[in-house]
Amino acid sequence: MSTLVIVESPTKARTIRNFLPSTYRVEASMGHVRDLPSSAEEIPEAVKGEKWAQLGVNVEADFEPLYVIPKDKKKIVKELKDALKDATELILATDEDREGESISWHLLQILKPKVPIKRMVFHEITREAIRDALTHCRDIDNRVVQAQETRRILDRLVGYTLSPLLWKKIAWGLSAGRVQSVAVRLLVRRERERRAFRQGSYWDLKALLEKGKISFDAKLVTVGNVKVANGSDFDENTGQIIAGRRVLLLNEEQARALLSRIQNKPWTVTNLEERPVTRKPSPPFTTSTLQQEANRKLRLGARETMRIAQSLYERGFITYMRTDSVHLSEQALEAARSCVQELYGSEYLSPQPRKYTTKSKGAQEAHEAIRPAGSTFRTPQQTGLDGIDFRLYDLIWKRTVASQMADSRQTHVTVLTQVEDAGFRSSGKRIDFPGFLRAYVEGSDDPNAALEDQEVILPALKVGDKPNCKDLGAVGHETQPPARYTEASLVKMLESEGVGRPSTYASIIGTIVDRGYAKLIANALIPTFTAFAVTTLLETHFPDLVDTGFTSRMEQTLDEIATGEAKWLPYLQKFYTGETGLATQVKEQESQIDAKVARTVVLENITAKVCIGKYGAYLESENEEGQVKASIPQDLTPADLDPEKVEFLLKQKTEGPEKLGLHPETGEPIYVLIGSYGPYVQLGDVSETNKKPKRASLPKGTDKDSVTVDMAVSLLTLPRLLGTHPETGAKVQANLGMYGPYVVHDQGKVGKDYRSIKPPDDVLTIELDRALELLAQPKAARGSSKTAKPLKELGAHPESGELINVYDGRYGPYVKHGDINASLAKDESVENFTLQKALDLLAAKEAAGGGKSSSKSKKSTKTAAAKSETAAKKTAAKKTTAKKTTTAAKKTTTKKAATATTAKKTTKSS
């Protein structure tokens, strides 16, 4: 008697095995085992000639999907079928959300089991939860499956119908998506607002007052009982005061005149108000709030957050991480309250358990919030976690525990002071009882530091008091354009608009960046010119598809299909076919869309055309000599492209680069130019004999107009040889790179060791002694493995003799040899990782051109495979090699040309 249990991932399988009897065999499906074809290669021969085959959905046959088993899943399917032959029962234990239900259904269709079948779901991977789930198995919920399949078909219809249109009209390789295109439009709309924004300026006064040796700030708010203008009084589209608003706008001259008039005059407290405020803790995390908070506090992207959360869930540290619910089970409430009682005391415990309910009608997926797993919560220190795993668990633990803590009680204090006819206001905050703030402050990493930052203590004051003015100054302000979306704020906006599902936001944002619709710079999502072109086309010809309300209603319908309130087939028919269906719209609109117009981005105040070309955005303008085209630098955003920059780029193209001066030694001209990657200086002219003149990028933040001949000459000396390292005799250099200035200790084949140069050090003036000091400092956690401690030492490479080690990287463990890094497969255990596996993995990476050094990356697959085979033979010969490793090595050596194939598979897995 044996029971086969199928889950999605090997990590999840390993964890669950620990909680089941030995008669249970747990295997992983590695995610979906079946899907719509992703390329023409995957379309079965029997239907290749059909018109609908490329779409993957037979629209004329009631939207029947064409499901195929991808190449990389055929081996897994065979292994699962073989495992099923020895089983007397099959338990499908995939995740409890819609996608998990769908995976179980697909497994059922492929495996066609003849033994009893059960569907097991659980919210956390603990012994109690797994044992309990075994006694409460159910059947597959076909309505949930149908909702997920409808979503998959709908997304395919939108993507595969609109994307080819974008290829024809704008550029090859672009994509449209049901949720993706709405998200891109949000980014573009915000960028348009930034372009339309007009800056306003205003002045006010700021005073430093003192009473009883306690200093406090006061800000000018009125003059002659008229409110002084601040940033909220300005119209963003005009830069002027909003029409009809009665405020006093001070310029610099008026502000300084007022300062002189009230200087040294007596100050009097005219009013004092104290207002008690109670703050309640935030509910536990849902998928979207975890993504938002991890982005704000830990600077993690949505994809990275979900990857780490998935790992924590599969290892049994947290509950299921795809959920819209803020509900906590009775077990979780008791565990959280126990933590509060033990760590903070009963006074910090909320009088009654706090029970949160989800307001969203469409809330689904899992039935509980994200929280620490188990009936008792391990503190972060008790988990044994480290690095980013520790920090994310810590975040989840604090948020969950804080949700059961007492309210924070505060007193907000407002003091008005008068000097002559000028009124000033001071604001204070006193924390009477911190409550939940002891454990968790939203948006802040350190609760203790946050409490100090939040509390603003004012001295004991009463009406009629006369504080001393220690300092008084005039302060100028400029209004700021609307902030760009971060991953956190975009997730929040999508959720508030009801667009998409929180569990899909990570992949959506990833797709937007990967497809070139946005760049992630300093945590801000900045749309590209391509995003502008695509959004304009969709807004003009398919407005419903980029309308948040329309997309939100689609989500509601999909939810209704899951509950049986709506039928899937009529909905798909209405959406895609018929007079107003998407397919009909595309046929009608295609002939009306002018490709030249579609590739042109219209921007206010820009006379030249901005066009989308094969290699990026460029300017197009007409002059007396004809048409002029000039590339737009990749770091120049749509909001920052102004008439001055346009003029410079076009002038550089027609009149040649701007001459800065002559090199004092060579006499060659020095030019300042702007290229695809920003401004740079160039020594000499491009000619037949000098096709690649010496060039050097300007340091980040340096304006091209501020560059002098001396600075240019210094930049052109880079990289600067500072001297030799006293221990190795290798050269030490200073240079400017993609990520800023740095020093490097270049040891040739041994490798290069880098350190960033931070102010006040300067790449142009730094000396050898200071460079050696920097190189002696340990690298940050994200730095190179040369100074990092390896997770595992595997041994020396059989040919080069260099050590091969496994290190912990930002995206998980990886193996390193020289300049080549190769990530371990997601299901690969560091403990069981061997030298032979490392050699195969490195050979695969090198064969795919994955080495850092150009010479290594150009080696052929044949050479890489041969190296791996030789290495395998040597490794297999070692008597100390474990039995499993020896067997694997022998298999590798007996396959004549199989290493290249293995390399390919390994690369794909990694």
Catalytic residues: 320
Q: Is the dihedral of CA 777, 779, 785, 790 positive or negative?
A: positive
How far, in Å, CA of 863 to CA of 861, rounded?
A: 5
How far, in Å, CA of 598 to CA of 535, rounded?
A: 10
**β partners of residue 415:** 272, 426
> Is the separation of the CB atoms in 241 and 434 below 8 Å?
no
Question: Tokens 């938002």 identify what position?
Answer: 292
Buried residues in 543-580 as b, exposed as e (16+ CB within 10 A): eebbbbeebbebbebbbbbbeeebebeebbeebbeeee
Reported as type and span, the H/E element at residue 755 is strand 752-756
| Pairing state between β 616-623 and 609-613 | antiparallel
How far, in Å, CA of 223 to CA of 220, rounded?
A: 8
**DSSP code of 738?**
T
Distance of CA 48 to the CA centre of its chain: 38
Integer Rg of the chain from CA: 32
CA nearest to 178, candidates 460, 425, 511: 511
Residue 313 corresponds to which tokens in the numbers above? 């869930």
Torsion of CA 88, 89, 90, 93, to 10 degrees: -140
Helix (H, G, I), strand (E, B) or coil at 882: coil
Helix (H, G, I), strand (E, B) or coil at 542: coil
Residues 6+ away with beta carbon under 8 Å from 370: 284, 285, 286, 287, 290, 309, 318, 319, 320, 321, 323, 396
Reported as type and span, the H/E element at residue 104 is helix 98-111
**DSSP code of 334?**
H
Question: Tokens 């000028």 identify what position?
Answer: 422
Start-to-end C-alpha separation, the chain: 36
> Is the separation of the CB atoms in 825 and 910 below 8 Å?
yes
> Is the separation of the CB atoms in 55 and 156 below 8 Å?
yes
Residue 688 corresponds to which tokens in the numbers above? 């037949």
The Cβ of residue 525 has, within 10 Å, a number of other Cβ atoms equal to 25
CA nearest to 782, candidates 815, 816, 802, 810: 810
How far, in Å, CA of 497 to CA of 553, rounded?
A: 10
Distance of CA 454 to the CA centre of its chain: 29
How far, in Å, CA of 252 to CA of 230, rounded?
A: 14
How far, in Å, CA of 853 to CA of 836, rounded?
A: 23
Please state whether 173 falls in left (phi above 0), alpha (psi between -120 and 50) or beta.
Answer: left
How far, in Å, CA of 313 to CA of 125, rounded?
A: 7
> Taking CA 337 as the corner, what is the angle to CA 335 and CA 338, rounded to the nearest 5 degrees?
65
How far, in Å, CA of 490 to CA of 164, rounded?
A: 27
How far, in Å, CA of 548 to CA of 526, rounded?
A: 20
483 φ/ψ angles, rounded to the nearest 5 degrees: -70, 145
How far, in Å, CA of 378 to CA of 397, rounded?
A: 8
> Is the separation of the CB atoms in 890 and 809 below 8 Å?
no
The Cβ of residue 770 has, within 10 Å, a number of other Cβ atoms equal to 15
The Cβ of residue 538 has, within 10 Å, a number of other Cβ atoms equal to 22
